[in-house]
Structure 1
Amino acid sequence: MKPFYFFFLFFASVIMIGAQETNNNPVYRVSLNDLKMTSYSKDSIANALVLYEFGSSHVDQRDYDLRTEEKYKIKILNKEGFDKANVTIHLYKSDNNHFERVDDIVATTYNLVNGKVVITKLDKKNIYREEYDENHTLVKFTLPNIKEGSVITYSYSLRSPFMFNYKSWNFQGDIPKLYSEYKTSIPGNWEYNIKLVGGKKLAVNEAVIKKNCLTGGNGGSANCLDSRYAMKDIPAFVEEDYMTSKLNYLARVDYELKTFIGFNGLKNDYSKTWKTVDKELKTDGDLGKQLLKSIDLEDHLSAEIINETDALKKTQAIYSYVQENYTWNGDYKIFKDVSIKDLIKNKSGNVSSINILLHNLLKEAGIKVNPVLLSTRNNGFVTKLYPVISDFNYLIVQATVNGKTYLLDATDNYLSFGDIPFRCLNLDGRLLDFKNESKWIDIKPNKKPTTLYNVELNIDTDNKFTGTIKTKRTGHHALRAKKKYFPNEDAYIERLSNNSPYIEIFDYKTSTNDRTSPDFAESYSIEYSPDNTGEILYLNPFFTKFFVENPFKLQERTYPIDFGYKNSYLYMFKLNFEDSFSIIDQPKDLILGLPNNEGLISFSTKVLGNSVNLLMRIDFKQSIYPPEYYSYLKEFMSKIVAIQTNSIIALKKNP
């Protein structure tokens, strides 16, 4: 699944590519109709609504700083929308001489009280600054006198010396918007890759050349590309299960500096080729330097590992050594504070330090190995059309043994060899090869994770059900189970019992004693006594459920459904009964598939002699489904939940 990107590359000649505005001309000033509004027809559950927002960015003639004006008008529909009156402005600084600033903050609250408009202005003394960290400052204020039905307006000016980071604009947010507009003026000295993210159409998209908009020394001047973008009736972005970072899908326009040409004619290229980037990474003081360091195997590995002649066993042993002896400190840094020396000393370090140590040990042991840069699921997709190093926030290792490749990450001591954490399953990674050339590779699990339940019950003459449940999970399904079981076995068994309050669980056993095992198998005995309902006994055969509720609740979804990996589930159930019982009702069979055979539910029940056999199989044959599949997946999940909840076997005791 590719991210929703549209790229605009502007060259010397630019033509008008715009659209006409609708008849309703949005404005910043507050009207009586704004105040009388009580709901939004296109989103009846909205707590607040952006009536109007506007931004305008240009380069200042005096100091060549980037100046941005922003204006917002928001309707507060109910108390849950009061938080929209809390405003935070994020400012960046690289040092004490280079920092962003905000000026001219004006904020006003409008209320309609007994037919009269009451206006309350923000007092300047209620604007606060917070030094968030060494590079970020937060400016905060709260609009006064907020009530249900209030309309708030606020505006401010931003000044930034960082032209490499031209002001982006979010057309979409967590509440719906009637209108959002952004105007930009970019001098020809700066050439940007301009990216419209999110797949939503612009209502206005205009661009014209403005002659001699910026002048420099020696009579130099530059033309400007003046652009105007606008969207209308923008739905709120609602986060739901099975998605990567919302930054991949929020409708917005982003800028990446490609080239700067000074008035003196000197040209600086910021958007480089991967060949150039590879050379820079190789000589980088942190990442490249650490990757090229030699390491003495005898200082770390046993003679048994060093002398191992089987390449795969040696690779697995070195991986286990790093995994067991070094702890990830939770830091994602890959281009800063990377130090194998500090890692070895402290036995703890960031992602890069741990996996570079793994890389260097494998390389020294004669294993073909390469580092792989990637962006985690919460960090967003990487740009593939041109190098953007800041997109990456994680490093793993690819080892090639006997012609087969394995992706390795030693930061998690529950991972099986060849598995990587769920956070890393985010489409593509960049494999670095300093001798040849870097390339893109797929980041995906080596096997489909599965879950199998096998339940067998017997019913005695006292109407008591007894039997066993055996389960086996593989891949990431097993990883989740191991992380629940191994830290506290007793607590795990207690949770298992609490999840089934009407069932007694005993004789719990697991054959998985190694937390890095690729699977997790367990078994336990159960007793179940149904409520006394007379001659007929009712039994729901699903003592455990794969999905407790349908995770898909939206009317529609405009971004992909990303499970991270393909999934397979199997539930087998057998009930043995004596001649003193008869089956009078059983669940109906069902087969349901997703379009193009991309998923399947198969459910069947058969009575064979003195036993009832039930089989349910669920297959998700893709790890990522496009938005067009949402309605089908919503129905698919609904059927799974219904089968598990409503399936009943009815037995009658014979006279």
Structure 2
Amino acid sequence: MKNITIIIFLIIGLRGVSQENYNPESFNVSRGDIESKTFQKDSTANALVIYEEGNSYVDKHDYDLRTDEKYKIKILSTEGFDNASITLYLYNSGRRSEKVKDIVATTYNLINGEVVKTHLDEKNIFREDYNENYTLVKFTLPNIQVGCVITYSYTFITPFMFKYKEWNFQSKIPKLYSEYRTSIPGNWLYNIKLVGGQKLSTNTNEIKKNCLEMYNGASADCGIGVYAMTDIPAFVEEDYMTAESNYLARIEYELKTFKGMDGSVSHYTKSWETVDHELKTDPNIGKQLGKSVDLDDLLPESIIDEKDALKKAKSIYQFVQENYTWNNENKIFKDVSVKDLIKNKSGNVASINILLHNLLEESGIEVKPILLSTRNNGFPTKIYPVISDFNYLIVQTTINNNTYLLDATDNYLNFGDIPFRCLNEYGRLLDFKNGSKWVDLIPASKSSVLYNVELSFDENQNLKGVVKNRKTGYHALNSKKAYFPNINTYLDNLENKSAFIEIYNHQLTSNIESDHFSELYDIEYNQEDTAENLYLNPFVIKFFTENPFKLQERTYPIDFGYQDNYLYIMSLDIGNDYIVEEKPEDIIIALPNNTGSVAFSTKVIGNKVNLTFKIDFKESIYPPEFYPYLKEFMSKIVDIQKNTLIVLKRT
């Protein structure tokens, strides 16, 4: 009987293994590829790249860059059908344009035990003019069903050698194998950058002699590179991250130098010294920064006559905020004009902040511009200058040995604060005299939220109280931007946050110019009451209503943008009509290396219940290995706020 049992379990085990028999070693479709039904490493995957490869080389006849691409993909569910619709973007510039040829696509289905192939008809390949710079080539594989395998291949041709073909190892679906082969002639020198946290399983380079021969008899050796990754997880976006491009595993190329067969040399990647010189003479940056402004024509006398440098700087900053409107354009290398801004009272980010720069400089205050890339635009490259990486400009001023970052595009920003969109780790400070340098973009102070709630029973045993709230930093900024444009909407949203709370007598105890946001209001709490006991959730306000971290694994950092803390204090006067039947247990939780903490405590002193709940995030950015701890950390925070009860018994 034991032997029979063992055999049964072996059969079940073999069946479980046989459900996944993918062939990630070649482009050819195996029966195992088609028969496999699941992907156990990621049960949420709706499709799976079994195999993909790219091979880039310079054509010996036309001297253009060609990439042969092949893909083999398993469709695991109907949600994965989108992977059977392919769109290729072809760039056009002047008389030159990219092309694609030799498109071949096939769908493999298993029907009644037989493999059935359905080929893409050439008439179902479509071209579309997208805009003046791009043409689209689109096709959708035929006969798509759950469980099918699709393959497609094509040759991509580009005359634009300055940007060697990049290769994305990672995408929205998991991959078993991804390989990229390159053949780069020795007269093209590129900066090569591997992006993302995934590691290469293959990384080889060798020299091939005379790989490219020119019409005049000249030849070049080639660097042959082979790069591959295996078992690549899907990239899934989640809260608290910067641009996807910062973390998506890929290899990129930027042309550094081209050496012509005639001996000529052209440098494309420049040094920062060269870039600084070019920016100094650039009509949109350097020349605008050098524009003189007439303080008497622009500023009130009260600002001009101010002797205190910090007060003067704050007044100039506020003047620009209040008198010039940002048109929501991030342009820094096009249409930048201080003159047009002064005339039209509206302009792009560079125009506004360069005007601020020039007013401060004309007033004798030390100031420098900073180029940066916003959070949704990706990190700027540090290892060599790539000016196109930047899309934003702010200024830095130094007064009495204190440094302040300034951006006058937002009326609600305080002096020394920059918008959340700018918190992208670092920027390039331009100093045309001493040379530019990288600077960290760090908020001046922590952001915080404080709620102080006082509750008591009235003569009718209704639970009423007062809520006092004070926010600083980015929490204050967000509340200002919600409150001042539409107060009624703000109050409606405040009351709708809790179905058990009624709010009245709301008062704002700060103003638009305050460096904080403070309010107080009265509340009435509709508590759950039974004949014997009263069950009270003490959290009138909840900082987090759900856990934002839901992934099984996260391979990129958790970027909050700034350090912050939350404090909730509640005092409940139960009078002489109740006693505390049950109070919650105290809780203390810490993140590794003391990088964050949660402290929750409840004390009963006489006829008062005092509760304190504190959350402290001591870092603005946490590495991916902290993810499981943060996930559990946030889960506990939500649980405390949602499920904590104080049980009161009538006396």
Q: Same fold (TM over 0.5)?
A: yes
Q: Is the 8 A contact 1:581 1:653 kept in 2?
A: yes
1:242-641 alignment to 2 at 5 Å? 242-460=240-458, 462-514=460-512, 516-641=513-638
Q: Is the 8 A contact 2:187 2:220 kept in 1?
A: yes
Deviations 1:305-332 (A, max 9, x none): 2222221122112211221222222222
Distance, in Å, in 1 between the alignment partners of 2:312 and 2:515 is 18
Deviations 1:488-520 (A, max 9, x none): 101111111111111111001112231x43211
The answer to which structure, 1 or 2, has the higher relative contact order (CA under 8 A, 6+ apart) is 1
For residue 157 of structure 1, report the CA deviation from its aligned partner: 1.3
Distance, in Å, in 2 between the alignment partners of 1:109 and 1:610 is 74
For residue 617 of structure 1, report the CA deviation from its aligned partner: 1.0
* Equivalent position amino acid for 1:504 in 2: E
* Equivalent position amino acid for 1:415 in 2: L
1:144-155 alignment to 2 at 5 Å? 144-155=142-153
Q: Is the 8 A contact 1:122 1:143 kept in 2?
A: yes
Q: Name 2:86's counterpart in structure 1.
A: 87
Query: Given the alignment of the two structures, is residue 226 of structure 1 paired with residue 236 of structure 2, yes or no?
Result: no
Deviations 1:230-277 (A, max 9, x none): 111111111111111121111111112111111122222222221111
Query: Given the alignment of the two structures, is residue 113 of structure 1 paired with residue 111 of structure 2, yes or no?
Result: yes
Q: Structure 2 vs 1, CA of residues 640 and 423 (structure 1 numbering), >3 Å: closer, same or farther?
A: same
Distance, in Å, in 2 between the alignment partners of 1:329 and 1:591 is 47
* Equivalent position amino acid for 2:540 in 1: F
Distance, in Å, in 1 between the alignment partners of 2:292 and 2:111 is 75
The worse-fitting range, judged by mean Cα deviation, of 324-333 and 612-621 is 324-333
The worse-fitting range, judged by mean Cα deviation, of 633-642 and 326-335 is 326-335
The worse-fitting range, judged by mean Cα deviation, of 427-436 and 280-289 is 280-289
Distance, in Å, in 2 between the alignment partners of 1:130 and 1:317 is 53
Distance, in Å, in 1 between the alignment partners of 2:535 and 2:179 is 61
Deviations 1:400-423 (A, max 9, x none): 122211111111122111110111
Q: Is the 8 A contact 1:143 1:152 kept in 2?
A: yes
TM-score w.r.t. the length of structure 2 is 0.94
Q: Secondary structure at the match of 2:139?
A: strand
Q: Is the 8 A contact 1:463 1:530 kept in 2?
A: no
Distance, in Å, in 1 between the alignment partners of 2:611 and 2:278 is 60
Distance, in Å, in 1 between the alignment partners of 2:225 and 2:636 is 49
The worse-fitting range, judged by mean Cα deviation, of 445-454 and 268-277 is 268-277
Distance, in Å, in 2 between the alignment partners of 1:132 and 1:319 is 42
Q: Structure 2 vs 1, CA of residues 130 and 354 (structure 1 numbering), >3 Å: closer, same or farther?
A: farther
Distance, in Å, in 1 between the alignment partners of 2:648 and 2:565 is 31
Q: Secondary structure at the match of 2:467?
A: strand
The worse-fitting range, judged by mean Cα deviation, of 169-178 and 240-249 is 240-249
Q: Is the 8 A contact 1:217 1:263 kept in 2?
A: no
Deviations 1:413-453 (A, max 9, x none): 22111110111101111100011111111101101000000
For residue 480 of structure 1, report the CA deviation from its aligned partner: 1.0
1:124-273 alignment to 2 at 5 Å? 124-216=122-214, 218-273=216-271
Q: Secondary structure at the match of 1:102?
A: strand
For residue 183 of structure 1, report the CA deviation from its aligned partner: 0.5
The worse-fitting range, judged by mean Cα deviation, of 44-53 and 323-332 is 323-332
The worse-fitting range, judged by mean Cα deviation, of 588-597 and 113-122 is 113-122
Identity of aligned residues (%): 64
For residue 24 of structure 1, report the CA deviation from its aligned partner: 6.1
* Equivalent position amino acid for 1:540 in 2: N
* Equivalent position amino acid for 2:551 in 1: L
* Equivalent position amino acid for 2:52 in 1: E
Tell me how large the CA RMSD over aligned residues is. Answer: 1.6
* Equivalent position amino acid for 1:85 in 2: A
Distance, in Å, in 1 between the alignment partners of 2:628 and 2:24 is 35
Q: Secondary structure at the match of 2:529?
A: coil
For residue 203 of structure 1, report the CA deviation from its aligned partner: 1.8
The worse-fitting range, judged by mean Cα deviation, of 26-35 and 64-73 is 26-35
Q: Name 1:30's counterpart in structure 2.
A: 29
Q: Structure 2 vs 1, CA of residues 505 and 565 (structure 1 numbering), >3 Å: closer, same or farther?
A: same
The worse-fitting range, judged by mean Cα deviation, of 101-110 and 486-495 is 101-110
Unaligned runs of 5+ in 2: 1-21
Query: Given the alignment of the two structures, is residue 44 of structure 1 paired with residue 43 of structure 2, yes or no?
Result: yes
Q: Secondary structure at the match of 2:376?
A: coil
Unaligned runs of 5+ in 1: 1-22
* Equivalent position amino acid for 1:61 in 2: K
* Equivalent position amino acid for 1:52 in 2: Y
Distance, in Å, in 1 between the alignment partners of 2:137 and 2:339 is 40
* Equivalent position amino acid for 2:536 in 1: L
* Equivalent position amino acid for 2:619 in 1: Q
Q: Secondary structure at the match of 1:219?
A: coil
TM-score w.r.t. the length of structure 1 is 0.93
Distance, in Å, in 1 between the alignment partners of 2:343 and 2:35 is 66
Q: Name 2:14's counterpart in structure 1.
A: none
Distance, in Å, in 2 between the alignment partners of 1:583 and 1:384 is 60
* Equivalent position amino acid for 1:40 in 2: F
Q: Is the 8 A contact 1:463 1:529 kept in 2?
A: no
Q: Is the 8 A contact 2:578 2:650 kept in 1?
A: yes
Q: Is the 8 A contact 2:563 2:618 kept in 1?
A: yes
The worse-fitting range, judged by mean Cα deviation, of 125-134 and 433-442 is 125-134
For residue 153 of structure 1, report the CA deviation from its aligned partner: 1.4
Distance, in Å, in 2 between the alignment partners of 1:139 and 1:288 is 41
Q: Secondary structure at the match of 2:157?
A: strand
Distance, in Å, in 1 between the alignment partners of 2:461 and 2:84 is 62
The worse-fitting range, judged by mean Cα deviation, of 179-188 and 349-358 is 349-358
* Equivalent position amino acid for 2:547 in 1: N
For residue 25 of structure 1, report the CA deviation from its aligned partner: 6.0
For residue 55 of structure 1, report the CA deviation from its aligned partner: 0.6
The worse-fitting range, judged by mean Cα deviation, of 446-455 and 637-646 is 637-646
Distance, in Å, in 2 between the alignment partners of 1:119 and 1:217 is 44
Q: Secondary structure at the match of 1:133?
A: coil
For residue 217 of structure 1, report the CA deviation from its aligned partner: 5.7
Deviations 1:103-141 (A, max 9, x none): 222222222222333332223333333333332332222
Q: Is the 8 A contact 2:371 2:393 kept in 1?
A: yes
Q: Structure 2 vs 1, CA of residues 517 and 87 (structure 1 numbering), >3 Å: closer, same or farther?
A: farther
Distance, in Å, in 2 between the alignment partners of 1:484 and 1:357 is 28
Distance, in Å, in 1 between the alignment partners of 2:123 and 2:511 is 62
* Equivalent position amino acid for 1:356 in 2: I
Q: Is the 8 A contact 2:59 2:65 kept in 1?
A: yes
For residue 363 of structure 1, report the CA deviation from its aligned partner: 1.4
Distance, in Å, in 1 between the alignment partners of 2:132 and 2:401 is 47
Distance, in Å, in 2 between the alignment partners of 1:61 and 1:288 is 44
Q: Structure 2 vs 1, CA of residues 395 and 481 (structure 1 numbering), >3 Å: closer, same or farther?
A: same
Q: Name 2:7's counterpart in structure 1.
A: none
Q: Name 1:649's counterpart in structure 2.
A: 646
Q: Name 2:3's counterpart in structure 1.
A: none
